[in-house]
């Protein structure tokens, strides 16, 4: 572990309010969370990216994938920030002071991430690391178990969903616009299979929290979803 510089995490004020946004892939969680973070000027947690960030950090620090103690330390002291820019689309991922956004979506990083995610000690460490994102003036938490497991006491919980067909159409259009060939039927089949795995897994299955507001975005624009969430935030005193 001598090759890993362990830094103390910045102190956070754990009284900061939290809005959680959970739901299946393709429902619009990422865009909604970016809009909320920009509107409220709150911190953002993209929990889905954390395993890829951990994998990238492990690679940068030359920590072997069979070194569970090393991987656990990487996860526990992950120096990462998610920055929402009003000048450019998307979220910038800053790892140890460097923008690594473009590195996260490579096939190599994805392959390492899948191995990292299989280490129980890493999963436990990342749970604590996610909770450390809670701070003033507030946090927008994007994921699949933010309201059920990570932040069960969040002031506002949103569960954003859409039909598999609609989510498949959205993904299909994204791929075509980026110049990739795709099969709509295959995409929808993959989405249904992933939903089944996520909803029926033993640990932290994908489901709405008991007190979550469920929004079906199948026939809604992201602007309409955003307006509905803003109204909900006003009702609980998080937005004037």
Q: What is the pLDDT, as a whole number, of residue 6?
A: 47
Give me the residue spans of the domains in the chain: 17-42+137-229, 46-136
Look at residue 32 in the predicted model and tell me its pLDDT: 96
Among the ranges given (119-123, 147-151, 166-170, 232-236), the one the predictor scored with the smallest mean pLDDT:
119-123
In the chain, the DSSP E strands lie at: 18-22, 43-46, 80-84, 91-95, 98-99, 139-143, 156-161, 213-216
Query: Would you state the pLDDT for residue 120?
Result: 86
Fold agreement (17-42+137-229, 46-136): yes
Distance, CA of 16 to CA of 102 (rounded, Å): 30
Nearest partner of 156 among 170, 146, 166, judged by Cα: 146
Do the strands 139-143 and 91-95 form a parallel or antiparallel pair, or are they unpaired?
unpaired
Quote the CA–CA distance of 230 and 237 in Å, as a whole number: 10
Q: What is the pLDDT of residues 101-114, one digit of tens each?
A: 988 878 788 788 87
Dihedral (CA of 142, 81, 60, 71) sign:
negative
150-201 tens-digit pLDDT: 999 999 999 999 999 999 999 999 889 888 888 999 999 999 998 998 898 8
pLDDT tens digits, one per residue of 198-213: 898 887 889 999 999 9
Q: What is the pLDDT at residue 89?
A: 64
Q: Options 3.40.50.300, 1.10.540.10, 1.25.40.10, 3.40.50.720; which CATH number does 46-136 get? A: 3.40.50.300
Quick one: CATH architecture of 17-42+137-229?
3-Layer(aba) Sandwich (3.40)
Q: What is the mean pLDDT of the chain?
A: 89
Give the residue among 168, 179, 158 at the shortest CA–CA distance from 226: 158
């Amino acid at each position: 572990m001598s090759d890993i510089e362990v830094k103390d995490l910045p102190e956070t004020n754990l009284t900061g309010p939290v809005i959680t946004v959970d739901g299946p892939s393709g429902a619009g969680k990422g865009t909604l969370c970016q809009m909320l973070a920009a509107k409220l000027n709150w911190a953002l947690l993209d929990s889905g990216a954390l395993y890829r960030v951990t994998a990238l950090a492990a690679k940068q620090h030359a920590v072997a994938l069979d070194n569970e103690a090393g991987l656990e330390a990487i996860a526990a002291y992950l120096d990462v920030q998610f920055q929402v820019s009003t000048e450019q689309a998307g979220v910038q991922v800053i790892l140890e002071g460097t923008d690594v956004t473009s590195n996260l979506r490579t096939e190599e990083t994805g392959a390492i991430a899948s191995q990292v995610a299989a280490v129980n000690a890493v999963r436990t460490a990342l749970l604590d690391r996610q909770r450390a994102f809670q701070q003033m003036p507030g946090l927008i938490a994007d994921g699949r178990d933010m309201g059920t497991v990570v932040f069960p006491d969040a002031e506002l919980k949103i569960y954003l969903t859409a039909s598999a067909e609609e989510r498949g159409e959205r993904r299909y259009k994204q791929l075509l616009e980026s110049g990739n060939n795709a099969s709509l039927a295959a995409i929808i089949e993959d989405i249904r299979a992933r939903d089944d795995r996520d909803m029926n897994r033993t640990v932290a299955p994908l489901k709405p929290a008991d007190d979550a507001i469920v929004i079906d975005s199948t026939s809604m624009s992201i602007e309409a979803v955003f307006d509905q969430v803003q109204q909900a935030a006003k009702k609980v005193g998080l937005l004037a």
